[in-house]
Amino acid sequence: MNYDNGITPREARREMRRWFPTAVIGTVLLMTLGIIIAVMGSKAEFWVNTQNAKNQAGVAKINTQIQQNGIGFQEGQLSALQQQIGNIANLDTEMIGASNAMVTALHSQVLADARLGCTAASLVTSVPADEQGWVTQNCANGALSPTSPLYK
């Protein structure tokens, strides 16, 4: 076998010198392109992750709204409101004829129960008429109103 193609070492070096700058420039351009693709890819990944997080937060909010509007949740909050109103009525009865120290302690419990009742009322989508009067008189924006007669 004869591998002699007629190229001398001198011609090979000349061709190598002729194409060396092109090879270096091509390599630099390919490396730059690779870096650009990597940077753009990481920015795209960040954007996609951000969008996913926003979507998941939106889905969680919708799920919470669905649960809070569900029959079981609404019935539970209405039951809690009714229980707190009943507790307050019982405590008012206990205050009759109690010592001053006991009245102070019972009054603190009345205010605590009223706060719980107002919180429950704020989560009920439609407060029944029986409880609506109590809520209107004692609650404001899901909290015990500063003008509530329970403070006296």
130 with 87, same domain: the answer is yes
Same domain, 35 and 86: no
The mean-pLDDT minimum among 35-39, 52-56, 143-147 falls in: 52-56
* Residue (of 99, 92, 84) closest to 152 by Cα position: 92
Structural domain containing residue 19: 7-44
Q: Clarify whether residues 90 and 144 are in a common domain.
A: yes
- Examine residue 108 and state whether it is found in any structural domain, yes or no: yes
Q: Does 109 lie in the same domain as 144?
A: yes
**Bridging pattern class, strands 139-140 and 143-144:** antiparallel
What whole-number percentage of the chain has pLDDT above 70?
91
CB neighbours of residue 85 within 10 Å: 20
Confidence of residue 133 (pLDDT cuts 50, 70, 90): very high
Instruction: Say what the pLDDT of residue 10 is.
Output: 85
User: Quick check: is 2 in a domain?
Assistant: no
Average pLDDT over all residues of the chain? 87
State the pTM of this model: 0.56
* Whether residues 38 and 77 fall in one domain: no
Q: Does residue 31 sit in the same domain as residue 83?
A: no
* Residue 39 located in a structural domain: yes
Compare 59 and 108 and report the one with higher pLDDT: 108
In a domain, 16, yes or no: yes
Average pLDDT over residues 11-27: 87
Query: Is the C-alpha dihedral spanning 124, 130, 132, 137 positive or negative?
Result: negative
Residue 125: DSSP 8-state: S
Phi, psi of 9 (to 5 degrees): -55, -35
Pair (85, 138) in one structural domain: yes
pLDDT tens for each residue of 53-105: 887 777 777 666 666 667 888 888 889 999 999 999 999 899 898 898 898 99
49 within a domain of the structure (yes/no) = no
Q: How many domains does the chain have?
A: 2
Are 34 and 78 within one domain?
A: no
Q: Quick count: other Cβ atoms within 10 Å of Cβ 43?
A: 10
